[in-house]
Amino acid sequence: MIFTVAIDGPAAAGKGTISRAVAARFGFAHLDTGALYRAVGVKGGDPVAAANGLTPEDLARDDLRTLEAGLAASRVAVIPEVRAALLDFQRRFARREGGAVLDGRDIGTVICPEAEVKLFVTASAEVRAHRRWLEVGGDAARVLAEVRERDDRDMNRADAPLKPAADAVLLDTSGLGPEEAIAQAIALVQAQL
Ligand code: C5P
């Protein structure tokens, strides 16, 4: 069975939590596409060469979840050649046998416009910054400023900007706990299977 669940949205909206739960519930493979851009961002050197030569070791680095890695990712993610280098891998993953969940910024718009389910997960910048702060700690005002900086760069870049696909279902998690957000996503997938 070929079945793709595309989950897009800004940083810390809940995409990762929802994607992992949906993948586990239906036995689908999961790809966190942000990790690809984070790995390119932290590798340093020429980002296009880094994207073309990405290895499993690059994706297993333990510094990929830091705020710095997120900002570095959003800087390399504006480069069209970086995005092009990562495209085929993501497309093949999306249409693999057995079902796939991909989370990112452009899955429903660019990587897999034919996805059977498209979800756009959002939450207010304050709620998202608070969630990220619970993960990374440090200065809360700085975390909020970095979330806003990343949103701004992701939404306003020329190539594959962050935006909902025309046929995406919007899920605002600002007032939802993880269980409720997961239940809504699972119901949506179930309805299309
Ligand atoms: O999802 P995550 O916060 O790990 O993504 C890090 C950065 O990678 C994003 O802010 C965005 O700039 C970039 N990204 C992207 N397209 C994707 C996934 C992530 O441009 N599909």
Q: What is the pLDDT of residues 2-48, one digit of tens each?
A: 999 999 999 999 999 999 999 999 999 999 999 999 999 999 999 99
* 17 among annotated binding-site residues: yes
Query: Is the CB of 74 inside a 6 Å radius of any atom of ligand 1?
Result: yes
- Note whether ipTM > 0.85 here: yes
Give the pLDDT mean for 175-189.
Answer: 97
Question: Tell me, what's the pLDDT at 136?
Answer: 87
3 Cβ closer than 6 Å to some ligand 1 atom: no
For range 150-164, the mean pLDDT: 96
To 10 degrees, the CA torsion angle through 174, 180, 186, 188?
Answer: -60
Q: Is the CB of 9 under 6 A from ligand 1?
A: no
Specify whether the CB–CB gap between 91 and 4 falls below 8 A. no
- The domain that contains 153 carries what CATH number? 3.40.50.300
For the residues 61-81, what does the mean pLDDT come to? Answer: 95
pLDDT at 67 over 90: no
Instruction: Answer yes or no: is the C-beta of 37 below 6 A from any ligand 1 atom.
Output: yes
pLDDT at 104 over 90: yes
Q: Which domain holds residue 111?
A: 4-192
- In this structure, the residue with its CA closest to atom 19 of ligand 1 is 34
Give me the number of domains the chain comprises: 1
Query: Using one digit for the tens of pLDDT, what is the confidence trace for 114-125?
Result: 999 999 999 999
Ligand 1 centroid to 37 CA: how many Å? 6
The residues, ordered by sequence, that sit 6+ positions from 122 with a Cβ below 8 Å of its Cβ are 9, 10, 13, 170, 171, 172, 173, 174
- 10 known member of a binding site: yes
Going by alpha carbons, the residue nearest to atom 9 of ligand 1 is 74
**Cut 0.90: pTM above it:** yes
Q: Known binder of ligand: residue 14?
A: yes
Q: Which residue has the tokens 């996503």?
A: 185
